[in-house]
Chain A
Amino acid sequence: MSAILEIADVSRSFGGVQAVQKVSVDIPRGEIMSIIGPNGAGKTTVLNMISGFYHPDHGRILLEGTDITHLAPSEIAKLRVARTFQNIALFSGMTVLDNLMLGRHVLMKSGVLSSFIYWGLAQREEVAHRKRVEDLIDFLKIQDLRRRPTGSLAYGLRKRVELGRALALDPKILLLDEPMGGMNQEEKEDMARFILDVNEEWGTTIILIEHDMGVVMDISDRVAVLDMGLKIAEGKPDEVRVNPAVVKAYLGETKTSEVRHG
């Protein structure tokens, strides 16, 4: 098993709170890896450390053997690690097409000056990128939304466009932060289908953060479980599902939330 991404002994605290403690996870190339856990388990913190929004206090993150622990988000994006956000983060004033084209930003080479000098080259480049974006539009079945401002789209469709924008980067690794959050059952199944298709068609490694175990267990090759900042289990979905520590974490959460609300 060759790991495309190694998270090695990573810790991060905010103020006095240990959000993530000594977490190590190897992400195998070409697999769908889910990181699950109750609220406040540190899942999003891990994701934010991979994409460079936070830097770990301790530990290292290696992408194909290269240390990316302290790179800025834009530098990590340039290494073809794409992500979506928990709360949809499309550029709402822009069209679906503009959003997807922005997803290809790091792949576009010609700058302002050179695009004036080599007009033809820039045009040709633009056409090639547009072609790829059109393929994604077909893939996600959003052909009739091209020119629509994203702010006007329904929730499920916006999630789909955001997935498309991340895919436009031609990512080696796709980070999805609760891609099914707030969706109804049908939308969840659609999204699960797209995730599986992406993985199958382009061999993209996918790291998925989810709150509830449901659909995730069906589509993941491997699952890591976090609780209170610690990794409490890792393995194939069937192994993790019956792991006593995992069961306890999820049941425990129910109890504490009952206490909190009561």
Chain B
Amino acid sequence: MLEALDLQFTILLLSNGVMIGLMYSLIALGFVLVYKATDAVNFAQGEFVMIAGFVAVGALTVAGIPLWLSILAALVAMVGFGFALERVMLRKLIGRPIIAVVMATIGLAAILRGLGPFGIFQGTRPLPLPLRDEPFILGPLFIPPIQLLGGIVSLVFLAGFGYFFLKSRKGVAMRAVADNQQVAMAMGIDVERYFGLAWAMTGVVSALGGVLWGNMLGVDVNLALVGFKVFPVVILGGLDSIPGAIIGGLIVGLVENLAAGYIDPYVGGGTKDFAPYVLMILALMIRPYGIFGKRIIERV
């Protein structure tokens, strides 16, 4: 009887880990898209998600717009934000040392966290989605509806962007831009347009992440902390790999759930938040370019 319960508990942790992991993959995808196309490391990915959450909640509660329109507003706002950010800030940093972009995005993250609430919100706002409360029960699996939705949306977009890069002409051109900007220019590829496109695609992913994670955690400044999960995900999977983002997300999701389930009871909690980082540091020591990443981690 006890063993059956144990097994049930493990299965619960694992299924939870997979669903949450896929939702990490989705956000990590935003990071990967930008790195793949522009070689820029975006330390503000979590803040992008937070801003999307604010826009959706703001549209829903302050402006009183229907939910689907609020989600659309978040999408449009984040795509616009991505484009604008590339045009205003990042284009100026093209060709500068990578540390310039890193510092710029860290600064941007701080600004967004500071400006995010903008005096409109006090405390945490819920972002309700029309989902049922009871979990789906499939044999031994208990899956909360938001996690199922999150998992499915993540998979759809991961597959979509994967297809885009592999098969579509624009995707192949974007890979060319990522590979060598100068040569891409000589092919007649408008490099700056593709940079803008990459940031806009990150906006799409961030908007979805903002709605999904906003529903799970509530919308406040702390929503940006989701971004911290991105780093172990992309280090484990490889900074420039879409399959890597999926695998890395799954690993992080599983590890933190197993840690929470099995280690937390002995140490009083909190392992969930750092267990993925232990793994990340180990990965950096063994396979610095990630599981699927290009071997060249930095071009000089």
Q: Which residues of A contact B (CB under 8 A)?
A: 51-53, 72-74, 77-78, 82-83, 85, 89-94, 98, 101-103, 105-106, 108, 112, 115, 126, 165, 169
Contact = CB atoms under 8 A, between A and B. Distances in A.
B185 interface: yes
Contacts of A90: 183
Contacts of B169: 101, 105, 108, 115, 126
Interface string B169-196: 1101101100110110111111100000
Contacts of A74: 185, 187-191
A105 B173 contact: yes
A73 B185 contact: yes
B173 A77 contact: no
A78 B173 CA distance: 15
Contacts of B176: 91, 94, 102
Contacts of B186: 51, 53, 73, 77, 82-83, 85, 89
A91 B175 contact: yes
Given A85-B183, A89-B182, A93-B179, A102 B170 contact: no
A90 B183 CA distance: 8
Interface of B: 168-170, 172-173, 175-176, 179-180, 182-183, 185-191, 294
8 contacts: A53-B186, A72-B185, A74-B187, A78-B188, A94-B172, A98-B172, A105-B169, A112-B170
Nearest to B166: A98
Given A91-B183, A108-B169, A115-B169, 15 more contacts: A52-B185, A53-B186, A73-B185, A77-B188, A85-B186, A89-B186, A90-B183, A91-B176, A91-B179, A92-B179, A93-B175, A102-B187, A105-B173, A105-B188, A169-B188
The secondary structure that dominates the B interface is helix
Nearest to A122: B169
B124 to A, nearest CB: 38
A77 B172 contact: no
Nearest to A53: B182
Given A94-B172, A102-B172, A89 B183 contact: yes
Contacts of A89: 180, 182-183, 186
Q: A-B pairs with the 4 shortest C-beta distances?
A: A77-B188, A106-B188, A73-B185, A89-B183
Contacts of A82: 186
Contacts of A52: 185
A94 B189 CA distance: 16
The residue among B170, B182, B185 with the most chain A CB atoms within 10 A of its own CB is B185
A108 B170 CA distance: 11
Contacts of B172: 94, 98, 101-102
The residue among A51, A94, A105, A112 with the most chain B CB atoms within 10 A of its own CB is A105
B185 to A, nearest CB: 4
A96 to B, nearest CB: 13
B183 A77 contact: no
A106 B187 contact: yes
A94 B175 contact: yes
Contacts of A105: 169, 173, 187-189
A53 B170 CA distance: 23
A70 to B, nearest CB: 15
Nearest to A93: B179
Nearest to B179: A91
A62 to B, nearest CB: 20
A78 B189 CA distance: 9
Nearest to A162: B183
A129 to B, nearest CB: 9
